[in-house]
Structure formats: structure tokens, C-alpha cells
Amino acid sequence: MKKYAAPIALFAAFEAVAIALWLAKDNLFYLFNFTYIGASVALGVVLFIRGSDRARRVTQLLVGLYMLVFLGLIGRENMQIEGFWYYLFSGSFTAATIHYAVAKIFGPLLFGRGWCGYACWTAMALDFLPYKVPKGPRKQIGRIRYLTFAASLVFVAALFLAQVANIERIMFWAFVIGNIAYYAIGIALAYALKDNRAFCKYVCPVTVFLKPMSYFSLLRITCDHDKCIGCGACRRACPMEVDMLDDARNRTNGTECILCMECVKACPKHAL
Ligand code: SF4
Ligand code: SF4
Ligand code: SF4
């Protein structure tokens, strides 16, 4: 049982959030929602411990499809960043605001960019593309993320300032059209730059929250330098070009780590 301590602890953490929100909001949905997500994450970790190559993909599909199809398309909740602004401006601590608080703002202090590695429905599709590791040098165009971040904020603020009717309906269609745009841009960029995660590195507005918070992450990849033989297999396997051999928080691309464990799997000396 000892080797399953991590998934048990993860499930317990999600369950604590599930029960706290269920009781605080008097709404059974939160119990179901966070229990499901916690179970999906824990299952992925169990599969990883058991040596499955598909562990991360299983969790990514279970959580990503649930959020995209069940919550987004069937439940008509905009779980994108514009949905977060919408619920925030409405003064409503539900749906996207809770999702952002847990997965993208405060959660990263504990589990870094685990969201990006195991749950995001955009990356869920991008990770099927052929460029799992970038084929060229990183581009200096990361500031695009601030433009997309600002555009999402201005879009929702303008709807509120103009007192547009039916904002809820607009938010649903913004979710549908926004996702189509994310997939189209993400796939085009992946092929153009030969890098599945190009959208994540340069365009995604959510990284404006994720990067600074994950800098302080409790959970992170570190290197046992006594075991390391400097073969470089870990760096060659990393989709995000992180310098995981450097244990400093300000290591190169440190806030890009999505905890995918590809470096850990690639290391012949179990040094990571
Ligand atoms: S960077 Fe954005 S698109 Fe990429 S995995 Fe994270 S949240 Fe998803
Ligand atoms: S390969 Fe390692 S350092 Fe790179 S993103 Fe995955 S877990 Fe992080
Ligand atoms: S793969 Fe392992 S042994 Fe090779 S450089 Fe990376 S940490 Fe060191």
C-alpha cells in the first residue's frame, strides 16, 4: 500500500475540497465533480506507478472530456478564461471561478502546472499531434499570451459595461467558438513550429495565472546529482524545454513544467 500513498493523498485532497464545497454550497454537484476529478487523477497516478505508458493520457481524457463535453457543452458552463471573468464580475463563486481558483490560481502553489499535463481539454487534443518534443529552438513570442489574456478581459468587461442582454447565452457561444479557435490555432501552430505545445508556450492566456503561481509549487521535478551521469536523455524527452537538472526555482523554463514525467521515464539512472 505504501507505494500508493501519493494517489491516496491526492484523492483525499480532492475529496476534502468536494466535501467542503458540498457542505458550504449545499449542492451535491460539487461532491460529484471533485470526487470524479480526484478519482481520475488518482487513477492516472496509480497507472503511472504500475508502469503504464498511457497513465497521463487516461487522466487527461477522463478530466478533459468531462469538462469540455459534460460541463461545457451539456451543462452550458463557460469554463474558459472569459467564463472566469464573467462569473467573477457577476460576484458568483461557482463554476469557472471555483475551477480557476482550484486548478489554475491557488492549486498551482501545491501541484504546479499539473492542470496542463493532466486535465486541459485543449492540450488533450494537441498531445495527439506528432511533435511531442519540439523540433526547433524556442521562439521569443511568449508575450502573445498577454494579448490574449487582455482580449478575454476586455471582451467580458465590454459586455458588462454595455449592459448587454443575454450574457449567459453569449458566454455559451463564446465557449464554443473560443474552443474551436483554440484548437485551430493550436493545431496550426503545432505543425508550423513543429511543437505540439506551441500554443501553451506562446498563446494560452491561462499561463498568465499559471506561470507565476507554479513558480512556488511544492510539487516539482528535482535531480539527484549523485546519481546523474549527465547523459541528457531527460532534456531530450521534455516537451516544455525545462532545465530539470537545475534545482533552482528560477531554472530555465521552470514555470513551464507540466509534470508530465517524460524526463523521469527517460532517465536511465532514476535520478529525477
Ligand atoms: S498552457 Fe493553456 S492550453 Fe496549454 S495545457 Fe495549460 S491551460 Fe491548456
Ligand atoms: S519532461 Fe519533466 S521537466 Fe519537462 S515538463 Fe515533463 S515533468 Fe516537467
Ligand atoms: S536522464 Fe537522468 S542521468 Fe541522464 S542527464 Fe537526465 S537526470 Fe542525469
pLDDT tens, residue by residue, 140-190: 999 999 999 999 999 999 999 988 888 889 999 999 999 999 999 999 999
> Please, what are the domains in the chain?
80-214 (no CATH), 221-272 (3.30.70.20)
What was the pLDDT predicted at 136?
87
pLDDT band at 6 (very low <50, low <70, confident <90, very high): confident
Q: What's the alpha-carbon Rg for the chain, to the nearest Å?
A: 19
Per-residue model confidence as pLDDT tens digits over 50-90: 988 889 999 999 999 999 999 989 988 888 999 999 989 88
Dist. CA 255 → ligand 2 center (Å): 10
Q: Looking at ligand 3, which atom is closest to the CA of residue 266? A: 1
Alpha carbon nearest to ligand 3 atom 2, residue:
267
Q: Which atom of ligand 1 is nearest to the CA of 204?
A: 2
- In this prediction, residue 102 carries a pLDDT of 86
Q: Which one, of 174, 168, 258, lies nearest residue 217 by Cα?
A: 258
In this prediction the pTM is 0.92
- What separation in Å is there between the alpha carbon of 182 and the centre of ligand 2? 23
Q: Relative to the CA of 272, which ligand 3 atom is closest?
A: 7
Give me the chain's average pLDDT, please.
92
- State how far the Cα of 80 lies from the Cα of 100, in Å rounded to an integer: 9
Sign, CA torsion 119/125/130/136? negative
According to the model, what pLDDT value does residue 112 have? 93
The CB of 116 under 6 Å from ligand 2? The reply is no
Q: What average pLDDT does the segment 109-132 reach? A: 94
What CA–CA distances, in Å, run from 206 to 163, 199, 210?
26, 11, 6
Task: Report the alpha-carbon distance of residue 229 to residue 266 in Å, rounded.
Answer: 13
